Amino acid sequence: MSRKIIIISALLFLIGTCCFASDLYDRAFAAYKNNRPKEAQTLFLQVLEQEGPDASVYNYLGVAYYQTGDFEKSINAFEKGSTVPFANRALLYFNAGNSAFALNDFARAEKFYTSSIAADDSYSSSYLNRANTRVKLEKYKDAFSDYDAYLKLEPETTQKDSIEAMMKLLEKKEPEKK
């Protein structure tokens, strides 16, 4: 009889913990969605502590850090998320690239966008952002190739004219620095 009570108590505890964790996630997501990034950061950290690694939670946490200008913490969150099984690595590396770009760390941003493309070579935004990064790094031929790849993936983009104009400018640029 006491064994049944212990088992039932343990099950009730687990069910209660799951419900609390779900409520905590809902509160964290609501803070995120309602543009309260500081509150979302605190709550998402609690979700990770209580529920364990979750790639989507790391992504939201990283975006919340980005929104408050804490780009290094943002990058760390995206990198941690990329190690979780079944994570959307293309998205996480893309977001890490955006944070590195915001830090003007263009070499690092380029590496993250490259990792994003390696994770999913149809993730068009990574080509566009890597192209923009490569322009900053004066890697004009590589930037041209990335803009071309982006336009092949997104032929109907509203940015098509400006990207094609940029590509024409890049054709006239000096060769890559060695």
Judgement on whether residues 9 and 73 belong to the same structural domain of the protein = yes
pLDDT digits (tens, 9 = 90+) for 12-48: 444 444 444 579 999 999 999 999 999 999 999 999 9
Judgement on whether residues 88 and 134 belong to the same structural domain of the protein = no
| Domain-embedded: residue 114 | no
**Could you say which of 104, 135, 160 is where a domain stops?**
104
Judgement on whether residues 91 and 135 belong to the same structural domain of the protein = no
> Residue 30 has which token pair?
């609501």
Judgement on whether residues 67 and 100 belong to the same structural domain of the protein = yes
| Domain-embedded: residue 137 | yes
Judgement on whether residues 128 and 71 belong to the same structural domain of the protein = no
From 30-34, 35-39, 93-97, 171-175, the region with the lowest mean pLDDT: 171-175
* Spatial CB neighbours of 44, under 8 Å, sequence gap ≥ 6: 28, 32, 57, 60, 61, 64
Q: What is the pLDDT of residue 5?
A: 53
| Domain-embedded: residue 117 | no
Q: What is the pLDDT of residue 4?
A: 55
- CATH code at position 81: 1.25.40.10
Judgement on whether residues 75 and 147 belong to the same structural domain of the protein = no
| Domain-embedded: residue 110 | no
| Domain-embedded: residue 68 | yes
pLDDT digits (tens, 9 = 90+) for 115-145: 999 999 999 999 999 999 999 999 999 999 9
**pTM of the predicted model, to two decimals?**
0.85
d(C-alpha 127, C-alpha 51), whole Å:
34
Judgement on whether residues 10 and 97 belong to the same structural domain of the protein = yes
Number of helices (H) and strands (E) in the chain: give both, helices first.
9, 0
Reference 109, options 123, 84, 129, 86; nearest CA is: 129
| Domain-embedded: residue 30 | yes
Split into its structural domains, the chain has a count of: 2
Q: What is the CA radius of gyration of the chain?
A: 21
- What range defines the domain where residue 136 resides? 122-178
